[in-house]
Amino acid sequence: MPKIVDPEQRRRMVADAVYAVVARDGLQAATLRNVADEAGLAIGSVRHYFTDHEELMIFAVQELGRRVGERVWAHAERLLGDSGGSRADRRCRTEELLAEFLPLDDLRRDEMLLRHTFTTAARTRQSLLIHAEALQQTLDELVQRTLQGAQEAGGLPTDLDVEVESVRLRALLDGLGLQAVMFPGRFPPSLLREVLRRHLDSLVAAPDGAAG
């Protein structure tokens, strides 16, 4: 009896192969042939699910956005939906949520590398641009919602411009992440966490305040 293949599962397996090739050898190496070899499939099997290289790349960006978004938004919902605990506890959870944007382990390091790679490629590949923008927008909204939640809980000044501070925080996280991916020896996880912690401290106005 022939084995039943779940098409969506197979497409995601091929996306995993794209990520492995891109992380190791760069986007230019993610040809249909190389991706098929990485996935242990015949190139005809890959073409069965993706008509061409462009469709494969678009799906890879969309799938990356789905994975990152689901993981981080689930974390955010736990934080934003829980009004209990002390201010210090909430601050700690806020910091942990924002740390999801930093390459503190292999999973987040690979995600950061892939996000930057696809976003850079989208500058000259219009077919990727709308999908790269959607991924960035998801992360922008999450940071802004996190700061809004901290402000509503009394952990940030009421006159803080959350929109501007969200942009500033995203720039900080992206800059730190890129530096850490490029030069991991100079930017260990402990340093990344300390920079994030000090930035959150800088958002607090009163001496008895605390971000988050």
Does 11 reside within a domain? yes
Residue 150's pLDDT is 84
- Per-residue pLDDT reduced to its tens digit, 140-152: 998 998 898 888 8
Helix (H) or strand (E) holding 198: helix 189-202
- Per-residue pLDDT reduced to its tens digit, 56-97: 999 999 999 899 888 888 877 777 666 666 777 778 888 888
pLDDT above 90 as % of the chain: 59
pLDDT above 80 for 211: no
Domain of 6, in residue numbers: 1-51
**Residues shown for the chain:** 212
Does 56 reside within a domain? no
Give the pLDDT band (50/70/90) at residue 40. Answer: very high
Does 59 reside within a domain? no
**What CATH number does the domain containing 196 carry?**
1.10.357.10
Cβ-contact 102, 111 below 8 angstroms: no
Cβ-contact 94, 212 below 8 angstroms: yes
Of the listed ranges 15-29, 32-46, 72-86, the one predicted with least confidence? 72-86
The tally of domains found in the chain comes to 2
- 88 and 182 within one domain: yes
- 134 and 80 within one domain: yes
- 135 and 84 within one domain: yes
The total of other beta-carbon atoms located within 10 Å of residue 26's CB is: 11
- 130 and 47 within one domain: no
The C-alpha atoms of residue 75 and residue 69 are separated, in whole angstroms, by 10
Task: Report residue 56 as tokens.
Answer: 């494969």
- 110 and 34 within one domain: no
